[in-house]
Amino acid sequence: MNTRTIEIAVGLFVAAGMAALFMLAMKVSNLATYGCSEGYVISARFDNIGGLKVRSPVSASGVRVGQVVAIEYDSDGYEARVSMSIDPQYDKFPVDTAASIMTSGLLGEQFVGLQPGAEEEFLAAGSEIELTQSALILEQIIGQFLYSMKDEES
């Protein structure tokens, strides 16, 4: 086989490898969301964050608007402090927006849901959401339910 054919074949091989990497990066990984991760960061305090993790989604009306960037325990207020990065295109959340930790489906992952309020002013970088609702812990709910059953019987 002559050198030209071999070189063309190797060129095709390398190009196919690069194309495969590119396809994996663009189609099935979060490369596309890296560009707009330069959002503004807001925070919220929760009594209990349940199974929330860093990189969990933040959504409003079911649409993903950002992601959790940090979770820490505030030992002064005995609360969890969750920092969220919101995409800059969604910059019109009123200051009385409520944040709650929800679960997608019965067994799904947990995410922060934002419920816009009615104020005229908007949340900006560094501001904190006052109205929060903790994660629903299924075991606690079942426990409370069982206790109330027992009360009714007695």
Reading the block at residue 50, the tokens are 């349940």
Span from 18-26, 36-44, 80-88, 130-138 in contact with other proteins (CB under 8 A): 18-26
Q: Pick the stretch among 13-21, 43-51, 89-97, 143-151 that binds other proteins (CB under 8 A).
A: 13-21
- Would you count residue 21 as binding other proteins (CB under 8 A)? yes
Binding mask 34-73 for other proteins (x = CB under 8 A): x--------------------x-x------x---------
CB 40 within 8 A of CB 85: yes
Question: What track of x and - describes contact with other proteins for positions 134 through 153 (by CB under 8 A)?
Answer: --------------------
User: Is 27 near other proteins (CB under 8 A)?
Assistant: yes
Tell whether residue 13 is a contact of other proteins (CB under 8 A): yes
Q: Which of 34/147 has CB closer to other proteins?
A: 34
User: Which residues, 6+ apart, have CB-to-CB distance to 36 below 8 Å?
Assistant: 87, 88, 89
Taking CB atoms within 8 Å and a gap of at least 24, the contacts of 55-63 are 56/109, 56/110, 56/111, 56/112, 57/111, 57/112, 58/84, 58/86, 58/111, 58/112, 58/113, 58/114, 59/111, 59/112, 59/113, 59/114, 60/90, 60/93, 60/113, 60/114, 60/115, 60/116
Residues in region 80-99 near other proteins by CB under 8 A: none
Footprint on this chain of other proteins (rule: CB under 8 A): 3, 6-7, 9-10, 12-14, 16-21, 23-25, 27-34, 55, 57, 64, 105, 107-108
